[in-house]
């Protein structure tokens, strides 16, 4: 810009000067005149807005898969779980959390204990929503003093015990046809607690094999083989306690 100004000023000086006169010298700018000179402003380089990094889920962390038992998930709860990158399932064998409101000896509940899963109430979902991430579930394990007193167990201790060892590991069970729950349901419960189901009736004594039967059934032939015979409470209550109490439930 200063180059153009100097050029224009020179052209005007040439027009005003008569021929054969001494050349007119342009007076150099003094400091005071320099201050009046227009200099181009330095333009700062354009700034690129910094994009906010969106947190991504660590693929190494286990997914949050939730199963409900004894109650249904509300639409609000379903949306919350989805917003936190969790999912709902009906398969207790592959889930990470079980939600209920109290102790219920459902297949899902007994399987969840055997797997050492946190068994929690919906407060955990609400708290997680406020934190915008799933919080530790062990702080929300349900408390049902009436049921714990009735069955003589401590749910927290049973869950922690199951995380260390499967209490039915190495044991097999043969349920009679009259057993409740049925063989398929028992199979799920047993497998989640380390036990195995034997569908075919044994013909001789087998070590660490227990017969499950009702009190009204004829079980003499099993006893003749030397096999222990117990009610299904051995499993149902045993899972709650994470203990095999054969004497208490033996027939």
CATH number at residue 239: 3.40.50.10190
The domain boundary, picked from 163, 183, 216, lies at 163
Co-location of 98 and 144 in the same domain: yes
Q: How far, in Å, are 14, 19, 34, 215, 239 from residue 10 at the CA level?
A: 6, 16, 17, 123, 105
Co-location of 146 and 181 in the same domain: no
Strand arrangement, sheet containing 97-99: 87-89, 65-68, 97-99, 119-120
Least confident of 35-44, 65-74, 167-176, 226-235: 35-44
Co-location of 158 and 100 in the same domain: yes
- Residue 37 belongs to a domain: no
- Residue 20 belongs to a domain: no
Mean pLDDT taken over the chain: 84
- Residue 22 belongs to a domain: no
Q: Domain range spanning residue 92?
A: 65-163
Co-location of 137 and 196 in the same domain: no
pLDDT at 111 exceeding the cut of 90: yes
CA–CA separation, 158 vs 239, rounded Å?
8
pLDDT at 172 exceeding the cut of 60: yes
Q: What are residue 119's DSSP bridge partners?
A: 98
pLDDT at 13 exceeding the cut of 80: no
- Residue 182 belongs to a domain: yes
Q: How far, in Å, are 15, 31, 37, 53 from residue 28 at the CA level?
A: 20, 10, 12, 57
Q: What are residue 173's DSSP bridge partners?
A: 197, 210
pLDDT at 37: 44
Question: Which position has the higher pLDDT, 60 or 137?
Answer: 137
Percentage with pLDDT > 90 across the chain:
74
Co-location of 88 and 171 in the same domain: no
Co-location of 145 and 169 in the same domain: no
The domain boundary, picked from 163, 178, 206, lies at 163
- Phi, psi dihedrals of residue 231, rounded to the nearest 5°: -80, 165
Least confident of 11-20, 109-118, 142-151, 193-202: 11-20
- Residue 8 belongs to a domain: no
- The pLDDT of 160-180, averaged and rounded, is 96
pLDDT at 139 exceeding the cut of 70: yes
Co-location of 155 and 81 in the same domain: yes
Co-location of 170 and 157 in the same domain: no
- Residue 12 belongs to a domain: no
- Residue 16 belongs to a domain: no
User: Residue 237: which of 167, 187, 143 has the closest Cα?
Assistant: 167
User: What's this model's pTM, rounded to 2 decimal places?
Assistant: 0.75
The domain boundary, picked from 163, 194, 221, lies at 163
- The pLDDT of 174-180, averaged and rounded, is 94
- The pLDDT of 181-199, averaged and rounded, is 97
- The pLDDT of 236-245, averaged and rounded, is 97
Confidence of residue 62 (pLDDT cuts 50, 70, 90): confident
Co-location of 79 and 148 in the same domain: yes
- 3-state class of 76 per DSSP? helix
Co-location of 145 and 86 in the same domain: yes
pLDDT at 113: 98
pLDDT at 16 exceeding the cut of 70: no
Confidence of residue 6 (pLDDT cuts 50, 70, 90): very low
- Residue 215 belongs to a domain: yes
pLDDT at 9 exceeding the cut of 50: no
Domain count, the chain: 2
CA–CA separation, 145 vs 152, rounded Å?
10
Co-location of 194 and 118 in the same domain: no
- The pLDDT of 232-251, averaged and rounded, is 97
Co-location of 69 and 154 in the same domain: yes
DSSP β-ladder status, 196-197 and 229-230:
unpaired
């Amino acid at each position: 810009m200063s180059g153009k100004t100097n050029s224009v000023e020179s052209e005007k000086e040439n027009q005003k000067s008569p021929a054969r006169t001494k050349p007119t010298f342009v007076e150099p700018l003094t400091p005071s005149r320099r201050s009046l000179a227009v200099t181009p402003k330095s333009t700062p380089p354009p700034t690129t807005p910094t994009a906010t990094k969106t947190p991504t889920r660590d693929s190494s962390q286990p997914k949050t898969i939730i199963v409900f038992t004894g109650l249904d998930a509300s639409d609000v709860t379903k949306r919350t779980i989805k917003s936190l990158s969790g999912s709902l399932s009906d398969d207790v064998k592959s889930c990470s959390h079980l939600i209920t409101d109290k102790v219920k000896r459902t297949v899902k509940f007994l399987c969840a204990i055997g797997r050492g899963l946190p068994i929690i109430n919906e407060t955990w979902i609400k708290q997680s929503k406020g934190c915008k991430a799933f919080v530790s579930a062990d702080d929300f394990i349900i408390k049902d003093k009436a049921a714990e007193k009735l069955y003589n167990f401590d749910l927290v201790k049973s869950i922690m015990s199951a995380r260390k060892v499967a209490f039915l590991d190495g044991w097999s069970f043969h349920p009679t046809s009259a057993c409740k729950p049925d063989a398929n349901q028992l199979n799920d419960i047993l497998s989640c607690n380390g036990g195995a189901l034997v569908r075919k009736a044994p013909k001789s004594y087998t070590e660490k094999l227990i017969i499950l039967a009702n009190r009204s059934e004829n079980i003499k032939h099993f006893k003749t083989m030397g096999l222990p015979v117990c009610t299904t409470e051995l499993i149902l209550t045993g899972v709650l306690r994470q203990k095999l109490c054969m004497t208490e439930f033996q027939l």
